[in-house]
Structure 1
Amino acid sequence: MFAVVRTGGKQYRVAAGDKIVVEKIDGEAGASVTLGDVLLAGEGSELKPTDGLTVAAEIIAQAKGEKVIVFKKRRRHNYRRKNGHRQNHTILKIVSIGAAEKKAAPKKAAAKKAEGDAPAAAEA
């Protein structure tokens, strides 16, 4: 199964087990990340709905990209400026593509609320 996810203003086609380099995401190496902005998903040539679909990934490393040299020059004016830049990147390993896990906490709260109503009904 594959998915197209959007992160850092770019789109990536991923499958389970892939390694991708994306814009910097907060987290330490070994931490798990959920990419929730899934644009497209499918298996082979068959597309699947993306409602509630998430991509689970693990951070492998935080790294810097290649140095980009910025050189400005205005001829005949003795104007030269040289500057460099290295972009921060995060290397991700895609663990799985699947539905979002729903938390059980709201069910417990509803059960406690039902228990709280029972004694009030018994008193009346």
Structure 2
Amino acid sequence: MYAVLRTGGKQYRVAPGDVVKIETVSPSQDNTIEFSDVLAVSGDNGILKPGSAKVTAEVVGDGRAAKILVFHLKRKKQYKKMQGHRQNFTEVRIKAIEADGVTYTADQK
């Protein structure tokens, strides 16, 4: 069972129990996030576009990704420019996928 959701301009394929790094979002009071922009859900009948679906996740932590260096050079013009960037992210654990009244959760071990 998995779902494809859209957040922060990107799409993620998630299943219950997965830990995913997404664009920074602000959680609610109890550190949960609810994604309502679900594009597709795999179910018993295969992959379908649900009428009403949502994905519930809990926030594990926040952080910053590794530094990416951007280097510009124009030959023979004495022009060089170096710039670095670190993207912020929020790490979430998918708790449940609810689609058309059916809820799928991770197996508790």
Taking structure 2 as the reference length, the TM-score comes to: 0.81
Equivalent AA in structure 2 for residue 91 of structure 1: E
Q: Could you list the per-position Cα deviations for residues 63-114 of structure 1 after superposition, in whole angstroms to 9, with x for gaps in the alignment?
A: 101101011111111111111000011111000001599xxxxxxxxxxxxx
Cross-structure match for 1:66: 66
Structure 1: segments with no counterpart, 5+ residues: 102-124
Deviation above 3 Å: which 4+ runs of structure 1?
Answer: none
Q: 1:42 and 1:25 mapped to 2: Cα distance? A: 26
Contact 1:34-1:57 at 8 Å conserved across structures: yes
Structure 2: segments with no counterpart, 5+ residues: 102-109
Choose between structure 1 and 2: higher helix proportion: 1
Cross-structure match for 1:27: 27
Cross-structure match for 1:83: 83
Identity of aligned pairs, percent?
36
Cross-structure match for 1:47: 47
- Structure 1 pair 45–19 and aligned structure 2 pair: CA distance change class (3 A): farther
Where 2:34 maps in the other structure, the secondary structure is strand
Q: 1:43 deviation in Å?
A: 2.6
Where 2:65 maps in the other structure, the secondary structure is strand
Cross-structure match for 2:4: 4
Tell which deviates more after alignment, 32-41 or 43-52.
Answer: 43-52
Choose between structure 1 and 2: higher strand proportion: 2
Q: Bigger relative contact order, structure 1 or 2, given CA contacts below 8 A and separation 6+?
A: 2
- Structure 1 pair 61–100 and aligned structure 2 pair: CA distance change class (3 A): farther
Cross-structure match for 2:104: none
- Structure 1 pair 49–76 and aligned structure 2 pair: CA distance change class (3 A): closer
Larger Rg: 1
Where 2:20 maps in the other structure, the secondary structure is strand
